[in-house]
Amino acid sequence: MAKLSRRLDKFPGYPLAEIPRRKRELLAAGVDVIDLGAGDADVPPPQVAVDALVEALRDPAMSRYGFQLGLPAFREAVVRYHQRRFGTTLDPMAEVLPLLGSKEGLAHFALAACEAGDICLVPEPGYQCYIGGAIASGSEARIAPLLPERDFLVELGELPRDVLRRTRLVYLNYPNNPTAAIAPRDYLERTVAVCREHGIALAYDNPYVEITFDGYRAPSIFEIEGAREVALEFHSCSKSFAMTGWRLGWVVGNRELIKALTTVKSYHDTGPFLAIQRAGAAVLDRAEELSKAMAARFEARRDSAVRALQAAGFEVTPPRATLYLWVPVPEGVSSAQFATRALEDEGVVTLPGSAFGPSGEGFFRVALTVGAERLDEAAERLGRVLARA
């Protein structure tokens, strides 16, 4: 057999790798499975996206290579959205880059920012593409635990000076997956200040910026003074517009960092399908209207799920953003044990906190990806698992 890279041994197991297979087996056996695992809601994409895509498919030019330039109209729609929503002025050609979903851009950015001997700071629990990007870059993936007693915030200023000197990239994600934590403005201000002082690139992952509740408005990192010097901000059509499978995202920010990521991506892909970029442009020009309806849907689901889980005996704090609940597991039971029992005994798919890294132990994640009735049913079943724990 051909020899493979030893780097492969450094990649942790991906949290969703085995769940689809086991779910299929249970469904084939007649089990009524309620899937609260992946953040992939049972909501159709906006009709404006479908209509724009169908129209674009009739244009042969939309089936050509897009390369990294992509569709200028998509870049311009991104600029208009950021101007309306955050007051940020962007150069569509130098400070915007279309992505095949934000995930690939986040992972590829580590290849542009880091090399052997550098530190890439990775929040844990967190999205696995962060650590994947760090490992692929050959840098040291340094874990920054997200602790409930610290409101799940990474305080860069508290890291040792020698660590900060070696750090070239930090990933941050607020509103946060999986904890649903949000970041106060003063936290973002001191984080940007540390990055500027030490020349650290900041990858600010912001796909849940529009999924907020109770009047909370999530910010862009570029609302913070000085962020344009060090940061890129990653966005996606997946969560706010129910376009997960379309694989369309974008990144904005510092033009030198955009140029570096563009160089890396030029060797890995030829950009998102132009017809999908056309649809994305149509969506972004109505982003506030469309995302408001989506957020209202998830807020109603949050309220229903929190009530049902609390009635079932769980301690759940209603989050102010995202489409997730981060729920403590029973004392004395690991998160993996609880998730396995939930799936095998009750047919409910959840994700154990440990799937997001060891720092996630003690919790499990519920995705609000089904309607209120199914969430109520899932909570009742999970309550039975809790009662047997």
**What proportion of the chain, given as a percentage, has pLDDT over 70?**
99
Q: Give the chain's largest Cα–Cα span.
A: 60
Tokens at 331, concatenated: 């004392």
Number of Cα atoms under 13 Å in the Cβ half of residue 91? 10
CATH of domain 47-288: 3.40.640.10
pLDDT above 70 for 14? no
**Mean pLDDT of all residues in 81-92:** 97
**What is the rounded CA–CA span in Å between residue 71 and residue 118?**
35
**What is the rounded CA–CA span in Å between residue 175 and residue 322?**
6
Number of Cα atoms under 13 Å in the Cβ half of residue 214? 8
Q: How far from 388 is each of 314, 381, 384, CA to CA, in Å?
A: 13, 11, 6
User: Where in the chain do CATH 3.40.640.10 domains reside?
Assistant: 47-288
Looking at residue 41, its pLDDT comes to 86
CA-atom Rg of the chain in angstroms? 21
**Mean pLDDT of all residues in 59-74:** 96
Residue-wise pLDDT tens digits, 251-270: 999 999 999 999 999 999 99
User: Where in the chain do CATH 3.90.1150.10 domains reside?
Assistant: 13-42+293-388
pLDDT above 80 for 13? no
Looking at residue 17, its pLDDT comes to 63
In contact, 205 and 313? CB cutoff 8 Å: no
The DSSP 8-state label assigned to residue 99 in this structure reads E
CATH of domain 13-42+293-388: 3.90.1150.10
Number of Cα atoms under 13 Å in the Cβ half of residue 233? 25
Residue-wise pLDDT tens digits, 241-253: 999 999 999 999 9
pLDDT band at 142 (very low <50, low <70, confident <90, very high): very high
Quote the Cα angle for 214-223-78, to 5°.
90
**What is the rounded CA–CA span in Å between residue 321 and residue 210?**
8
pLDDT above 80 for 361? yes
In contact, 164 and 193? CB cutoff 8 Å: no
Average pLDDT, the chain: 94
**What is the rounded CA–CA span in Å between residue 28 and residue 178?**
30
Edge-to-edge strand list for the sheet holding 96-99: 96-99, 249-253, 231-236, 201-205, 167-173, 119-124, 140-145
Single-letter amino acid code for the residue at 243:
M
Residue 63 CB neighbour total at 10 angstroms? 12
Quote the Cα angle for 368-374-375, to 5°.
45
